[in-house]
Structure 1
Amino acid sequence: MTTLCLASASPRRLALLQQIGYSPLSVSTAIDETPLPGEEPAAQALRLATAKAGAAAREQPAALILAADTIVSVDGKAFGKPRDFPSAKGMLEALGGRWHTVHTAVAVTRSGRNAQCLSTSRVQMRPLDAREIAAYWASGEPADKAGAYAIQGLGALFITALEGSYSGVMGLPLFETGQLLSTFGCPPPFLHGSS
């Protein structure tokens, strides 16, 4: 039986895979996530997910590797994880009161075979005042989230509308992930009774 490895230390991605029945081995990868000059947010997400999968495949060559990357963008500007409070404040101010785009790329690799897909969603966030931003930062939630918010956590209080994939905005689009894993002979476990 093939081992499924999630190339991520994200507890959210692990929980999402477990939600649909998988029991992956979680492996952390370290790659350079610096955007390339002129790189579009969607292309950046695809490149980083593919790089994470490749890095994990070098560590676990016999495994089926799944990796993902999420980029939040507004007006073509990509927002990754905030470096500090001023960074988070700038992101939340830019996102507040308008629609933004969330690109989550998923990459799967095994034995030299690679495939990727991209989930793109639109999210509308209400305007946030300085007190709310400071309190949200103090909660600790925004620190490791693309765009400095978590739709599945306290950040849900700021989201007024969503067009697309809720799980994709969380960091792993489940429809696309299930489809991609199925093409590698690893459909959701409930469909064949094992993981």
Structure 2
Amino acid sequence: MPQLILASTSRYRHELLSRLRLPFDAMAPDVDETALPGEAPAALAERLALAKARDVAARFPGAIVIGSDQVADLAGEAIGKPGTHAAAAVQLRRMSGREVVFQTAVAVVAPGLAAIERAEVRVRVRELSDAAIEAYLRADQPYDCAGSAKVESLGIALLDAVESDDPTALVGLPLIRTCALLRRAGLEPLA
């Protein structure tokens, strides 16, 4: 079996890929994640996922490399990782009572293959009081998550609904699409 590499240092993506029970290594890609002028959130996610996979694949010829990226889209505006408590509170206030679309792209680069898939997750955020935002942020500290919420944790209490055909996409790695891409690269997760 060729070496499988996750082009990410995200603990969330690492945990998700571990669910497939395939041996893999994780490597940090060297990619500038700055959006291009006028770049739509979906295009940004796709470009970065492929760039991450290509960067690591260039260092490990013969490997199967998975790259992924997620961008939260609030009315066409990319919402990134907040980094701080104050920035997360601002994001959640802006998202309160609105729909946010999470664009999650996954790419697989392997000998003879460079393919990408994108999963779209629609999230309806309930009306949030400042007290609810503060309580949530103190409990979950989602400062490294696009959109300032961990749906796999207490962040689920912030939402009215989640719509997706690939449930792990919201956490950062759409596993249904990842499995399909791995099969295209010649790696069957159930073998």
TM-score class, shorter:
over 0.9
Sequence identity (%) = 37
Give the match for residue 186 of structure 1.
Answer: 187
Partners of 2:66 and 2:82 lie apart in 1 by 24
After TM superposition, the runs of 4+ consecutive aligned structure 1 residues lying more than 6 A away are none
Give how far 1:89 is off.
Answer: 1.6
Alignment of 1:125-144 (within 5 A): 125-139=125-139, 141-144=141-144
Q: CA RMSD in A?
A: 1.5
3-state SS in 2 of match to 1:45: helix
Partners of 1:66 and 1:3 lie apart in 2 by 11
Partners of 1:129 and 1:23 lie apart in 2 by 44
8 Å contact from structure 2 (residues 140, 153) kept in 1: no
Give the match for residue 28 of structure 2.
Answer: 28
Give how far 1:182 is off.
Answer: 0.4
Gaps in structure 1 of 5+ consecutive residues? none
Whichever residue aligns with residue 153 of structure 1, its letter is: S
3-state SS in 2 of match to 1:48: helix
Alignment of 1:61-100 (within 5 A): 61-100=61-100
Give the match for residue 171 of structure 1.
Answer: 172
Whichever residue aligns with residue 82 of structure 2, its letter is: P
Partners of 1:61 and 1:113 lie apart in 2 by 12
* CA displacement, residues 94-150 of structure 1 (integer Å, 9 cap, x when unaligned): 212121101100011013631101101101111222223233333353111011111
Give how far 1:21 is off.
Answer: 2.3
Gaps in structure 2 of 5+ consecutive residues? none
TM-score (norm 2): 0.93
Give how far 1:6 is off.
Answer: 0.4
Partners of 1:89 and 1:110 lie apart in 2 by 40
Partners of 2:3 and 2:10 lie apart in 1 by 18
Give the match for residue 44 of structure 1.
Answer: 44
Whichever residue aligns with residue 129 of structure 1, its letter is: S
